[in-house]
Amino acid sequence: MFKNHSDNIDFGSYKYYIRDSFLDLSKIMSSMNIKGIKICIVSDSNVSKLYTDEVKKVLNESFDLYDFSFEAGESYKNLSTVQSLYGFLIENHFNRDDILIALGGGVVGDLCGFCASTYLRGIRYIQMPTSLLASVDSSIGGKTGVDFEGYKNMVGAFYEPLFVYVNTIVLKTLPEGEFKSGLGEVLKYAFILDKDFFEYLNENLINIYNHKPKTINTIIYNCAIFKKMIVEEDPKEKGIRVFLNFGHTIGHAIEKLSNFTKKHGECVAIGSFFAIDISREMGYLNENEAKRMQQLIMDYGFDIDIPDSISTDDIIKAISSDKKQGKDGLRFIILDNIGHAKIISNMDKKYIIRGIENGKETNKRTDTQI
Ligand SMILES: NC(=O)c1ccc[n+]([C@@H]2O[C@H](COP(=O)([O-])OP(=O)(O)OC[C@H]3O[C@@H](n4cnc5c(N)ncnc54)[C@H](O)[C@@H]3O)[C@@H](O)[C@H]2O)c1
């Protein structure tokens, strides 16, 4: 499945473009016969400063342009920011023909997509992910939403963009910690779906950290293809799409318990580390495979240490209040091979407790490469 190159991807109802500038944007819009309308570029305070003017420059001949920016950070992915954006759109007479552009990381993409899905019962929007995580994950698959009273993504909608446009050059200004956070999701794809991709990530650690364009484009392309495969088979998360939650059950708990001071992808990497131990503990994964995957997480520089203030008991309590608990009890994604995931219903929490405890021990014994 893994391909050592990158290309555009056709998602059926929308396309995913990988470019190294913003220049093609207006060409794509005119090829879709989109012109003469209002466009609002929605961004956060960091990305807006860097790129809103550049995008405006590319579009300014054909469109009536507006921009809306909100304070960067997960804590602003809420209904209050949504309300401000609705207000801005109403004030500027945006109607159903007009378009929003989500220019930013996953926070901007989720929030802007949710506004687009509800404003006037739905207007068009374009995803322009600027973080690695948004490029490989959140901009794909049409999941939009905001957090609500401490609960992640509690309010939202499935709503597909007009297209996704990734300009990989912008990753050069992405803070290193955010880049690493995106790599947490990249590793996840390798663990659940593709052993060849796992080997590629093993071999290309240095190229990835040196931002070698061909390598970056290759990982973005392959992750997007993996996500395409999954969301096409299961658009509304009724079946295999839950594989994408690998590492997220424990990851979300840690993210919440650390008051969102730890980055999402970093928590996914920590959650993956423990989920690998749980898979081994339950007898699905052999020692060697578990070790290789955990070593890769360490090699990519993830700090698996959970702060002392977060106990195993806290994690279990946070998992128990997770909205993903269904009528078949806790669903947990485990691995039975490198590149192969499995859903466990009615997961017995004793394995999670044991996995977390073992994972903490394994972490103490494992060396990192970088
Ligand atoms: N919808 C989905 O399917 C889905 C999937 C995974 C994650 N998510 C969501 O995505 C969010 C996390 O996304 P994220 O990691 O991109 O976080 P983010 O949007 O907060 O971006 C991370 C930080 O990087 C900055 N930034 C982004 N691009 C930049 C660039 N090119 N140059 C300089 N700074 C830049 C942002 O301003 C922010 O400070 C979470 O809210 C998570 O719930 C959604």
How much is the pTM? 0.92
The CA distance from 31 to 24, in Å, is 10
The pLDDT of residue 320: 87
What's the Cα-to-Cα distance from 352 to each of 247, 288, 355, rounded to whole Å?
12, 20, 5
Which residues lie with the beta carbon below 6 Å from any ligand 1 atom?
Answer: 44, 46-47, 50, 72, 74, 77, 104-108, 110, 130-131, 133-134, 137-138, 141, 143, 152-153, 170-171, 173-174, 178, 181, 264
Tens-digit pLDDT profile for residues 130-160 = 999 999 999 999 999 999 998 889 999 999 9
Q: Which two tokens stand for residue 239?
A: 């079946």
Nearest protein Cα to ligand 1, atom 21: 105
Which atom in ligand 1 lies closest to the alpha carbon of residue 182?
15
Which atom in ligand 1 lies closest to the alpha carbon of residue 144?
1
Q: Report CA(356)–ligand 1 centroid distance (Å).
A: 27
For CA atoms 161, 164, 165, 166, the dihedral sign is positive
Q: Kindly give the parts of the chain with pLDDT less than 70.
A: 322-328, 363-370
The pLDDT of residue 323: 59
Q: Report CA(74)–ligand 1 centroid distance (Å).
A: 8
The CA distance from 26 to 331, in Å, is 44
* Burial tier of 308 (Cβ tally within 10 Å: 0-12, 13-18, 19+): exposed
Q: Which of 71, 110, 180, 252 to mutate to test the pocket of ligand 1 (most atoms within 8 A of CB)?
A: 110
The CA distance from 2 to 222, in Å, is 6
Question: Are 54 and 26 spatial neighbours (Cβ–Cβ below 8 Å)?
Answer: no
Domains of the chain, with CATH numbers? 9-173 (3.40.50.1970), 176-365 (1.20.1090.10)
Q: Report CA(238)–ligand 1 centroid distance (Å).
A: 25
Q: Report CA(354)–ligand 1 centroid distance (Å).
A: 32
Which atom in ligand 1 lies closest to the alpha carbon of residue 145?
1
The pLDDT of residue 307: 80
The pLDDT of residue 288: 96
Q: Which long-range contacts (CB under 8 A, 24 or more apart) does 234-238 make?
A: 235/141, 235/142, 235/158, 236/158
The answer for residues whose C-beta is within 8 angstroms of residue 46's C-beta and 6 or more apart is 72
Q: Report CA(286)–ligand 1 centroid distance (Å).
A: 34
Integer-rounded Cα radius of gyration of the chain: 20
The answer for residues whose C-beta is within 8 angstroms of residue 291's C-beta and 6 or more apart is none
The pLDDT of residue 163: 98
Q: Which of 178, 231, 255 to mutate to test the pocket of ligand 1 (most atoms within 8 A of CB)?
A: 178
Nearest protein Cα to ligand 1, atom 3: 138
The pLDDT of residue 370: 45
Q: Which of 20, 47, 69, 117 to mutate to test the pocket of ligand 1 (most atoms within 8 A of CB)?
A: 47
The pLDDT of residue 325: 62
Nearest protein Cα to ligand 1, atom 7: 138
